[in-house]
């Protein structure tokens, strides 16, 4: 079945540093979604990418979808303590979402 891998599993950064998490799917995706889950909370939708090579920005967050529609990345510029949480990518290959294992971001003030 479809597998979605995310790296790194954990990332500690100093406030103000940049952060990137990478996502790879074993199969071609129709779209990819990104979610953020705060400690003790539930996943919250951030964005959906559909087109090959698509790049979308939300303030300090930049999302990319690979040309082959099998990989994606999330980059955060100048992290803040409010960015703390686990970031998940979720690949949509039809009628189900397959989540990656997530990257837990910790930010030191």
- What minimum distance in Å lies between the beta carbon of 78 and another protein? 26
Print the binding letters for residues 44-63 with another protein: x by CB under 8 A, - otherwise.
xx--x---------------
Quick check: 98 binds another protein (CB under 8 A)? yes
Quick check: 85 binds another protein (CB under 8 A)? no
Q: How far apart are CA 2 and CA 97, in angstroms?
A: 10
Task: Let me know: does 46 contact 102? Beta carbons within 8 Å.
Answer: no
Quick check: 106 binds another protein (CB under 8 A)? no
Residue 10 tokens, joined: 């954990």
Q: Which of residues 3-42 bind another protein (CB under 8 A)?
A: 4, 6, 31, 33, 35, 41-42
Q: How far apart are CA 62 and CA 59, in angstroms?
A: 8
User: Which range, of 11-19, 52-60, 74-82, 91-99, touches another protein by CB under 8 A?
Assistant: 91-99
Q: What share of the chain is helix, strand, coil (3-state, %, to 5)?
A: 5, 55, 40
């Amino acid at each position: 079945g479809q597998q979605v891998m995310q790296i790194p599993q954990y990332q500690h950064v100093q406030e103000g540093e940049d952060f990137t998490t990478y996502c790879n799917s074993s199969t071609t995706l129709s779209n990819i979604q990104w979610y953020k889950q705060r400690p003790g909370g539930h996943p919250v939708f951030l964005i959906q990418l559909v087109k090959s090579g698509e790049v979308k920005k939300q303030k300090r967050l930049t999302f990319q979808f690979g040309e082959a529609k099998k990989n994606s990345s999330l980059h955060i510029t100048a992290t803040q303590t409010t960015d703390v949480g686990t970031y998940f990518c979720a690949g949509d290959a039809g009628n189900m979402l397959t989540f990656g294992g997530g990257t837990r971001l910790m930010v030191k003030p």
